[in-house]
Structure 1
Amino acid sequence: MTGADKSQRRDRGASAPGQRAHEVGQIPITNGVRTGQHDGVAVEASARPRPTPALHERIGQVLLTEGLITEEQLARALNAQRLAYAPLGTVLVNQGAVHEDHMTMVLSAHLEIPVADLKHLEVDAEVARLVPEDFARRNLVLPLRRDNGHLAVAMNDPSNLMVINDIRLITGLPVAPYIAAPSDILLNLTRIHDMHPRLSVAAKTLNESRPQAQTDRVMTLELAKVTSSSPAVEIVNLLITQGLRDRASDIHIEPQKDYLRVRFRIDGVLQDMAHLPSATGAALSSRVKIMAGMNIVERRRAQDGQISVNVDGRELDVRVATMETIWGEKLVMRLLDRGRSLITLPQLGFSQGAYHEYHRLLHSPYGMMIVSGPTGSGKTTTLYASIHELDSQVRNIMTIEDPVEYMFDHINQSQINKLADISFANGLRAILRQDPDIILVGEIRDRETAEIAVQSALTGHLVLSSLHATDAVGALLRFTDMGIEGFLIASSVIAIVAQRLVRKTCDGCRVPYAPATEDIEFAASVGVAAPHELYKGQGCSRCNGTGYFDRIGVFEVLTLSDEVKRLVIAKASHAEIMTAAVAEGMLPLRADAWAKISKGVTTVSEVMRSVYII
C-alpha cells in the first residue's frame, strides 16, 4: 500500500453506517454484542462492529490496512517478537510504532469487546483487590466491579482464555472481559495497591531496631546489621518499585530536622510522597550504598554508584548520588527504565510545519543537527527518536553517550568512562576510525568536542548532538563562545532544535474555563486574541490531584538558510538572527506553546513555569 493510498483511506470524510466519525489515524471503538454482563461499566463508544476486520484476520494486517503502521515497522516487530515471545501488539507499542490507545481501539474492534474508560471510571478498590497484585500486574488485568453476577475485568488481552479462567478460579465469579490500555490498568493498580501502609509499618519496625548512638566504627558495624534486615530492604524496594510505577524520574531521600522526607520527581515536578522517622535515614542510606557498591563508611564525601534491578518484570538501572547535609546524608536515585517504550518523532509534539522540516533535514547525507535546551528538557529523548527514524540496516550508526539510556538493535552504542579516559572528545575520535555514516554525540560540552563534531560534519558524516542553550539562536552563539569560527558553523550546522517539556492537562479531569488575565496577556504576546474558552485539569486520582499527567515538548526549529548563515559569519546579534529566522517562517518557542495552550494540551501557568524565555 502506498503512502497516498493510506492517506486516502484515513481521510475519508463520511463514516460507514453504524460507525462513529473519527479523527485521522484513529479507529472507531466497537462494543460488540452487549449483554447483561457488560452493563454498568463506562465504555468509550456504542458503535456496532464494522464489516471488517474479520475475527480471524491478523492484528498486524489490520494495523497495516488502517495505515497505522508501515510494512517495515511490522517486519521489525515480527523479528523482535520471535525473540521476546510477547504479543505482537505489545512489541509494536514498545517499539513506538503505534500508540497504545490506537492499539486498544483496534483490538476492541477486532475482538468485538468493549473498551473500559479507566480515565473516567471509578474502580471499586475492594473488588480490585480480589485478584492478587502480582497476578494483576503480570497479566495486566484489573477487576472493576460486580455486575449481574459477573466480575467485570479490564484486560490488556481479553482473548487470553487461560487468564480469564484463572480469574474465575481465584474469585469464584464468571468474568465479563473489557479491554483497556496497559498504562491505564497499571495506573489504577498503583493507586489501589498503595505503598504507604506497608511503608509506615516497615519504617516503624526499622525505627525501633535502630542502633543507639555510639562511636562511628561501632555505629557503622551496627548499621550494616540493620541494613541487611527486612525493614530497611523492604523500604528501599518499596520506594524504587513505587517510583517506577508512578513514572518518577528521580527519588529524593532528604533528611530534615524532625523527619526524613521522600519526594518523587514526576513529570518534572517534585512531589512529597512520605515522611519517615529521622532515625531511619542512616539505615536507608547504608542499604542503598551497599546495593550501589559504594563505601558504606564514607558519609562526608559525595559518592556516585549504580544499581541494576528488576521491577514488575522490567529492567531498571538506578543511578545513585549521595551528599552530606547538615541533617544527614541526602540521596538521589535516578530511575532509567530500560524496557520503556521509545517515543517516536511524531509523538514528541512538533507542530506540523516544524515536524516536516526537521524530518526532511534529518535525512540529509551530512551536516550537524543540534538539540538545545536546559537540563531535563527532553533533549536525549529527541535524539533517540531521531536515530530511531534512520535506517540502520544500510548505514553505520554509532553513538557516544553519558550514559546509554536506551538500547537499540543494529546501532553501535558506547558511553563515556572516566576511569578508562573515554570522554566525548576521545570517544568521537575513536568513532571516526570506525567508518561511521551517522554519529550521535550525547552532548557538546567543550571546544575540543565541538571542533571534532564540526570537522566530522564537514567530512561527510551526519552528526546529531545536544547543547545547553536557552533557544535555537543561543545554541548557535554557544559555538562562537567555544571558539568555533562563524564560517565553520555556517558550513556544518544545518538545523538547531530548541525545546522545553511542559506537563499535559490531565484527560481524566480536564474542564473548560474562561481565560484569566494571564491567559489574555500571554495570547497578546504572540499577537493573537485568547479564545472564549481554555482548558485546565481540576485534579483527580489519575493525576494525583495535580491537574496534569505526562509531558509534551514545546519546540522551535531553526534552519540555517543563506540569510541566517550570512548573519552568523558577520557575527550578528541574537536579536538580528532571531528576527531573520522568524521572518523566514520559524515558529518561536512561545508561539508553539500558545498553539498547545489554545488546543487544551497544556496551560499558560505551566508554560510560564517551564518555558522561561523572553
Structure 2
Amino acid sequence: MSGRVEIDDKKLRELEGVFHNLEELGEMIKNFKSPYTSELLEIILAGGMALGASDIHLEPTGEASALRLRVDGLLHNVSNEIEKQKHLSLITRIKLLSNLKLNIHDRPQDGRFTIDLADRDIEIRTSLIPSEYGETAVLRLLDPRSLKVNLEDLGWRKDDLKIVMGEIEKPNGLILNTGPTGSGKTTTLYAFLRKITTPEVKIITIEDPIEYHLPGVSQTQVDSAVGYTFASGLRSILRQDPDIILVGEIRDKETSEIALNASLTGHLVFSTLHTNDAVGAIPRFMDLGAKPQVLGPALTLVIAQRLVRVLCPKCKVEKEIGEALKTKIEKFLEGLPERIDKKDCQNFKIYSPGGCDKCGGLGFKGRTSIFELFVINEKMEEAIYKNPTEIELKSLAKEQEMVTMQEDGILKVLKGITSVEEVERTTGKVEWLDK
C-alpha cells in the first residue's frame, strides 16, 4: 500500500497564493525553520502544483542539496541550499509515503503516493536512485486537471484533426504515436480513447505504468516480476474479446508481431514507438522483424509529435520582420499543401517571450503539441512492400502532402502561439530562415 498526504484545501490555497514564481518558493524553503519534515515536503509539493511543475527533483550535491522543478518541459533551479540533514529527512519521508524500504540506499527504488484534496486526488510517482553524495529523488506529479483528454484541445490543425478523426473511427488498424519520452504521446493516446469510448465497445490497455484512470476503459499494468509483459499481456488481452486495444509501447519483436496481427483480425490498436519522426516507424518495425506484406496492410497512421511552450499572451513581444524574412515566410506558406487553412497566417507576426507575473517571469505559460501525420494509403502500402529506404519513404510522404513537425511548428509561430526558438529546440534548426 502506498501512503497518502492530506493537505487541507485552505492551507493549500494559502501556500499556492504565496508562490508566484520560482524565487518565492526558493525563499520560503531557505527560511523554513520547523523541525517537521512533513511540513517542508508539503511546501515543496504545493509549490510544484502552484507553478505547474510536472516533476520535482531533489539532488544531493555534497554538503547541501538542490531542488529543481520541471515546468513546461524545462528544468528550473529553485534552491541549492537545502541542508544535508533536511535532504536525508525528506528522502526518508518520501520512502515512508511510497512504501519503500528505508534501509536500502544503494539500489534504485520506485513507488507512489497520493495527495488527498477535497476535489481530486493527485498521484505522485516516486523514483529514487543512489548517487555520489546520496539518494536522488524525482517526484512526478500526476494531476488529473493537467491532463488534456479532449482531442480538440491538443493543438491540431483542422486538416490534421479531420485525418485523425477518420482513422480513429475505423473498426481496425494500427495507429502509432512516436516521439521521445515526455513528448505528449500518452496524453494523445488517452485523448483518442476518450473520444471513441462508448458502452458498445470494449477497450483494454496494457501500460507501464497506468498514469491516469480513464472511465469506461479496462486498464492493466505491466508487472515483469510475475511475467506480465507487453507481449504476454497483449496475448491475454486478445482473449478478453476487446474491440480496441492500447499497448503502452512496442519494444520487441514479439509485441510487434502480436500488435500487427491484432490489427489485421478486426481490432483497432494504438501504441507508441521511440523514433525521431513519423516515417522512421517503418524501418524501426523492419528492425523488429516485421514483414512488409504484414506491416503495409496493418499500419494505418503514424503520428510524430513534440511539445512546445506557449508564449504568455500577456507579455509576449512582437519582433520586427524585415522584407527578406517576410519573403521567405511567404515562400514557405506557398509551398504547403492546399488542404491547410492559411487564413490565420495571412497577416502573420512573430513574437518572442517577455516575462510577467502571469507566467512567473518565464515568458511562457503552458504547452501545446506540434504534429506530423504519416498516412499509410494504398500508394504507401505498395511502397512498403518493396522495402524502401527511409529517404525514399520521406520523399514519397512529402509527395503525399505530409506536413512535418517543424512545418507545423512554424505555422504555430506565425499564429503567435510559440516562438521560433521553441520550434528549433524541439525539431532542430530551421535552415531556410538563415539562408
Q: TM-score, normalised by structure 2?
A: 0.87
Distance change >3 Å, CA 478–CA 192, structure 1 → 2: closer
- Name 1:573's counterpart in structure 2: 389
Separation of aligned partners in 2, 1:549 and 1:518 = 31
Q: Equivalent residue for 1:264?
A: 69
Q: 1:599-610 counterparts in 2 under 5 A?
A: 599-610=415-426
Q: Does 1:200 find its partner at 2:30?
A: yes
Do the aligned residues in 1 keep the contact of 2:309 with 2:368 (CA within 8 Å)? yes
Aligned length: 411
- The equivalent position to 1:191 in structure 2, one of 4, 20, 25, is 20
Instruction: Return the letter of the residue paired with 1:249.
Output: S
Matching residue within 423, 429, 441 for 2:247: 441
Alpha-carbon offset, residue 523 of structure 1: 4.7
Q: Is the 8 A contact 1:519 1:604 kept in 2?
A: no
Per-residue CA distance 1:112-166 (angstroms, 9 max, x = gap) = xxxxxxxxxxxxxxxxxxxxx944977xxx9xxxxxxxxxxxxxxxxxxxxxxxx
Q: Which residue of the other structure, out of 449, 458, 481, is the alignment partner of 2:287?
A: 481
Map 1:519-558; keep pairs closer than 5 Å: 523=329, 526=332, 533-558=349-374
Question: 1:196-275 to 2 correspondence within 5 Å?
Answer: 196=26, 198-202=28-32, 204-206=33-35, 230=36, 232-275=37-80
Q: Relative CO higher for 1 or 2, CA cutoff 8 Å, sep ≥ 6? A: 2
Could you tell me which residue of structure 1 aligns to residue 120 of structure 2? Answer: 314
TM-superposed deviation, 1:195 = 4.5
Give the secondary-structure state (helix, strand or coil) at the position aligned to 1:191.
coil
Two-structure CA RMSD over aligned residues (Å):
2.8
Identity of aligned residues (%): 33
Q: Which residue of 1 aligns with 2:138?
A: 332
Q: Which residue of 2 aligns with 1:105?
A: none
Work out whether 1:375 is the aligned partner of 2:181.
yes
1:398-454 deviation line (CA, Å, top 9, x unaligned): 111112222122221111122332111111111101111111111111111111100
User: What is aligned with 2:377?
Assistant: 561
Q: Aligned with 1:473: secondary structure?
A: coil
Q: Deviations over 1:304-337 (max 9, x none)?
A: 1211222464311111111222222211111112
Which residue, out of 278, 290, 315, partners 2:96?
290
Q: Unaligned regions of 5+ residues in structure 1, if any? A: 1-132, 143-185, 207-229
AA paired with 2:78? Answer: M
CA distance in 1, matches of 2:251, 2:241: 24
User: Are positions 1:587 and 2:400 aligned together?
Assistant: no
1:280 Cα deviation from its structure 2 partner: 2.1
Residue equivalent to 1:149: none
Cα deviation for residue 522 of structure 1 reads 8.6
Computing the radius of gyration from Cα coordinates, the structure with the larger value is 1
Structure having the larger proportion of residues in strand: 2
The answer to whether the Cα contact below 8 Å between 2:108 and 2:128 also exists between their aligned partners in 1 is: yes
> Which AA in structure 1 matches 2:284?
R
Q: TM-score, normalised to structure 1's length?
A: 0.63
Per the alignment, in what secondary structure is the counterpart of residue 319 of structure 1? strand
Give secondary structure in 2 for the equivalent of 1:501.
strand
Moved more, 522-531 or 573-582: 522-531
Gaps of at least 5 residues in structure 2 are 1-7, 336-344, 431-435
